[in-house]
Amino acid sequence: MHKLLVICGPTGTGKTDIALTLAKKFDGEIVSADSRQVYIGMDIGTGKESQGTVSSEQKAGGKIQKESGKWVFDQIPVYLYDIVKPDERFSLAEYQQLALEKIKDIHSRNKLPILVGGTGLYIQAVTEGLKIPKVAPDQRLREELEHQKLEDLLLELEKVDPNYFEKVDKNNKRRIIRALEVYRQTGESFSSLQKRYKVPFEILKIGLTCERENLYDRNDIRVEKWFETGFVEEVKNLLKDYSIDLPAMTSLGYRQVAAYIKGNLGLNEAKQRIKFDLHGYIRRQLTWFKRDQSIYWYDILVENLENEVAELVSQWLKASESDRI
């Protein structure tokens, strides 16, 4: 059976760095599982240009190439970066289809696909074979719901679909609206329609984490580096072509920086709000991933982390080889 390696966990834990190391060691290629890295022009605030993965030396040395639908880091491709513009709709079903196509393509070349990211629903869609409801978008209904308060939408969702209410990111208005749209069109809850099929590969899931306060500190430093490496300029460029009210622009940090650019927030206050929101996002990510008992967790602060993870992957690959003999 084909294999799929998954590297998951909260933001700022160096998932892509570890994945690149493993890809070089085990002849792999990476598929991103991040709901914001799909957007063209949104690089710094979504972590595509994180300090760890994309160093100034790498950029200067030409080791990073940006191509349509992927970036290449020192000859290792990372797929599903830069596939839609911020004003284009992109659904979970579309992501699932593209990710599965890339995984199949990687398998066809006898390489190891490595699914990497912190968007739990994206990972679940691929690894658990979610059958995503095929309910056409209702633009009029979406506009109606968009004008309602988030608190009111959450109250309705809790009433009609308590299972999905427990899992959904309570700050992701787009996903909440989609769940209500499905319910209003079908009379059935979003969660009840999310059936599953058996995925055609063997999966190893590795989670990266550390103590929560350390995660907060690491991400606070990340936010400061975003600003040092041109985050304000990135948002200025986006605002030339796109409205700040687009769903894509709800990505962490973008609206706060837009408020700073417009003079509605001071720089320090914008940074503090981003850090506060990022802490909340980390808590939600931890809650999501901790439910998955199949994940092998590693503390990113331990010595020899890369060696320990590589040893587990090596044993997993060897076990499959022996099963075929």
Strand partners, 116: 7, 32
Q: Does residue 46 contact residue 119 with C-beta atoms inside 8 Å?
A: no
What per-residue confidence (pLDDT) applies to 52? Answer: 43
What per-residue confidence (pLDDT) applies to 59? Answer: 45
What per-residue confidence (pLDDT) applies to 61? Answer: 45
pTM of the model: 0.84
The answer, yes or no, to whether residue 56 has pLDDT greater than 60, is no
Q: Does residue 71 contact residue 77 with C-beta atoms inside 8 Å?
A: yes
Report the distance separating Cα 96 and Cα 126, nearest Å.
Answer: 6
Report the distance separating Cα 105 and Cα 48, nearest Å.
Answer: 23
The answer, yes or no, to whether residue 58 has pLDDT greater than 50, is no
Residue 78: name the closest of 132, 18, 120 by CA. 18
Q: Does residue 33 contact residue 234 with C-beta atoms inside 8 Å?
A: no
What per-residue confidence (pLDDT) applies to 154? Answer: 94
Which range of 45-49, 117-121, 173-177, 187-191 scores highest in mean pLDDT? It is 117-121
The answer, yes or no, to whether residue 78 has pLDDT greater than 80, is yes
Give the pLDDT confidence of 91-117 residue by residue, as tens digits. 888 999 999 999 999 999 999 999 999
CA 206 to chain centroid:
15
DSSP for 65-129? Answer: EEETTEEEETTEEEESSS-B-TTS---HHHHHHHHHHHHHHHHHTT-EEEEEES-HHHHHHHHTT
**Residue 58 vs residue 138, higher pLDDT:** 138
Average of per-residue pLDDT across 171-197 = 84
Average pLDDT, rounded, for the chain: 90
Six-digit token string for 62 = 């030409």
Report the distance separating Cα 69 and Cα 44, nearest Å.
Answer: 17
Report the distance separating Cα 45 and Cα 36, nearest Å.
Answer: 9
The answer, yes or no, to whether residue 157 has pLDDT greater than 50, is yes
Report the distance separating Cα 242 and Cα 235, nearest Å.
Answer: 10
Give the pLDDT confidence of 252-306 residue by residue, as tens digits. 999 999 999 999 999 999 999 999 999 999 999 999 999 999 999 999 999 999 9
**Residue 113 vs residue 179, higher pLDDT:** 113
Which helix (H) or strand (E) is 16 found in, with range?
helix 15-26
Backbone angles phi, psi at 30, to 5 degrees: -105, 140
The CA-to-CA distance between both ends of the chain, in Å, stands at 13
